[in-house]
């Protein structure tokens, strides 16, 4: 019987270490470029005006109670609204919404301009038109994580009945599923 194989531990000179620094931000970014993620838009209100941003960090946390999480940088233009809002909108985008995902990802863009279909939903949260699914959630925690916050929110109301296929983010681009 042969000895079990021991996994290789990356060293500073190893290609696994990313730019020569184990655990560097570049390493994390490089690895997560390989991870395909669903694309969501998070919406809220800031002083009565709608705000929102594109998120690829959306996760299901718990079915009972129905909790989800996402992250936002504290330097993001939407952070003050997310920090101060009790309720947020979470929208799962379809592959037909690449332009919308890009719009909500661009700094300084008029995200709720004439080209964006939306209406005021439950608790006054902006709800986007034509998405695969949406939720209005009540924020239950804002957890510090470096220069970001992990937002944990409980689903209150929503609609999972949109049609189409999901939009994905992979290798720094918005993509569609392939058959």
- The span from the CA of 167 to the CA of 156, in Å, is 24
> Using CB atoms within 10 A of its CB, is residue 74 exposed (0-12), middle (13-18) or buried (19+)?
middle
Backbone angles phi, psi at 40, to 5 degrees: -130, 155
Show the domains of the chain with their CATH numbers: 38-165 (2.30.110.10)
Six-digit token pair at 70?
């996402």
Task: Look at residue 23 in the predicted model and tell me its pLDDT.
Answer: 72
What is the full per-residue pLDDT of the chain (179 aa) written as tens digits?
A: 545 544 444 444 445 444 445 678 888 888 878 778 899 999 999 999 999 999 999 999 999 999 999 999 999 999 999 999 999 999 999 999 999 999 999 998 999 999 899 999 999 999 999 999 999 999 999 999 999 999 999 999 999 999 999 999 988 889 888 87
* Sign of the four-CA dihedral 144, 150, 155, 156: positive
Output helix, strand, coil percentages for the chain, rounded to the nearest 5. Answer: 15, 40, 40
pLDDT value of position 21: 59
């Amino acid at each position: 019987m042969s000895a079990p194989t021991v996994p290789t531990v990356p060293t500073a000179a190893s290609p696994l270490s990313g730019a020569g620094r184990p655990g560097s931000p570049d390493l994390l970014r490089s690895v997560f470029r390989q991870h395909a993620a669903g694309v969501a838009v998070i919406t809220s209100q800031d002083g009565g005006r709608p705000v929102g941003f594109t998120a690829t960090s959306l996760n299901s946390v718990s079915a009972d109670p129905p909790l989800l999480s996402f992250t936002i940088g504290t330097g993001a233009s939407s952070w003050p609204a997310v920090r101060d809002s009790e309720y947020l909108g979470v929208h799962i985008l379809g592959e037909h919404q690449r332009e919308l995902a890009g719009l909500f990802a661009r700094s300084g863009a008029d995200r709720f301009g004439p080209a964006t279909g939306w209406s005021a939903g439950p608790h006054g949260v902006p709800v986007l038109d034509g998405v695969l699914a949406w939720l209005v959630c009540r924020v239950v925690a804002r957890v510090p994580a470096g220069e970001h916050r992990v937002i944990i929110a409980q689903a209150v109301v929503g609609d999972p009945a949109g049609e189409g296929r999901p939009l994905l983010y992979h290798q720094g681009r918005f993509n569609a599923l392939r058959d």
